[in-house]
Amino acid sequence: MNPTRTPLVGVFDSGVGGLSVLKALHAELPSHDLLYVADSAHAPYGERSDDYIGQRTHRIASHLLAEGASLLVIACNTATAVAVASLRERWPKVPIVAVEPGVKPAVALTRNGHIGVMATPATLRSEKFKHLLSAHGAGIAVHLQPCPGLAGQIEKGIHDDPALLALIDQFTAPLKEAHVDTVVLGCTHYPFVHAQIQAAFGVGVTLVDTAEAVARQAARLLHEPKPTSDRPRQVHLQTTGDAARLKALAARWLPFDCNVAHAPGL
């Protein structure tokens, strides 16, 4: 990467799901360069061990900081649940914005007191998520639905794949039986199949994701003046997986141009 084009904001996810957060950041931070790392060669994190997830997140964070990022966005619920505390301990002076399942807004939105949370097994088993439920779930029936394999299917980018649709039907069925009226999309991959999940639930269920809230928090933490240069803003995508596939998915999912490359040394 050209050293004069180093990004201000570094973003990462286990794969392509965090592009949903990148899209919100792009809209909220119109003057800032962005660098996104998709760790697709090691995705999905949701079925990995906590030690493995921690090792990968620290390695990618180190890379983003070396590239010049002054703020990090963890665009992965699983990485947040497992490793955000250790990242903040290691780099206490670096502002870190992390996604987490939108339990609080779901509690505010529910009409019948029954909400569902769709997330990876690693997110739902984490202490951070348990604290989140304790803080915001009192008096509400919260129905947890682990979704093993769903992020991996979404990662393939084929939204009418029968295997993907079968998983969506499988994971939404228990929540429908529980009569939830609000469902938290607790993985940044899931908004890319929002339409398919909504169709499975029907129009009476509200889906909640937190990409825009994450972007607003990043904007609040960026205290330095906005760049005054007239040069076009740069958006770089790197992947540990297949760069051609990431380029194709970005062209389909993002309404702006990106430079796409293989992630060096990751």
Check which CATH number belongs to the domain holding 74 and give it: 3.40.50.1860
Are 95 and 225 in a shared domain? yes
Calpha distance 88→93 (Å, rounded): 8
* Low pLDDT (below 50) residues in the chain: 1-7
What local confidence, expressed as pLDDT, does residue 35 receive? 96
Q: Among 194, 209, 224, give the residue marking a domain's end.
A: 209
Question: Residue 14 annotated as binding?
Answer: yes
What local confidence, expressed as pLDDT, does residue 157 receive? 84
Are 195 and 254 in a shared domain? no
Question: Residue 45 annotated as binding?
Answer: yes
Question: Residue 189 annotated as binding?
Answer: yes
What local confidence, expressed as pLDDT, does residue 2 receive? 43
| Domain total in the chain | 2
Are 222 and 153 in a shared domain? no
Are 195 and 222 in a shared domain? no
Q: Among 167, 182, 209, give the residue marking a domain's end.
A: 209
Query: 84, 187, 211, 250: which is the annotated catalytic residue?
Result: 187
Are 198 and 232 in a shared domain? no
Are 39 and 51 in a shared domain? yes
Question: Residue 33 annotated as binding?
Answer: no
Are 92 and 109 in a shared domain? no
What local confidence, expressed as pLDDT, does residue 75 receive? 97
Are 52 and 132 in a shared domain? no
76 carries an active-site annotation: yes
Question: Residue 259 annotated as binding?
Answer: no
What local confidence, expressed as pLDDT, does residue 6 receive? 42
Q: Among 209, 227, 245, give the residue marking a domain's end.
A: 209
Are 84 and 30 in a shared domain? yes
258 carries an active-site annotation: no
Query: 25, 38, 53, 76: which is the annotated catalytic residue?
Result: 76
Q: Which domain holds residue 124?
A: 103-209
- Rounded to 5°, angle at Cα 16 from 64 and 234: 50
What local confidence, expressed as pLDDT, does residue 228 receive? 54
Are 119 and 205 in a shared domain? yes
What local confidence, expressed as pLDDT, does residue 155 receive? 87
Are 201 and 247 in a shared domain? no
Q: What is the pLDDT of residues 175-211, one digit of tens each?
A: 999 999 999 999 999 999 999 999 999 999 999 999 9
Are 110 and 194 in a shared domain? yes
pTM: predicted TM-score of the whole model, two decimal places: 0.90
Q: Report the mean per-residue pLDDT for the chain.
A: 92
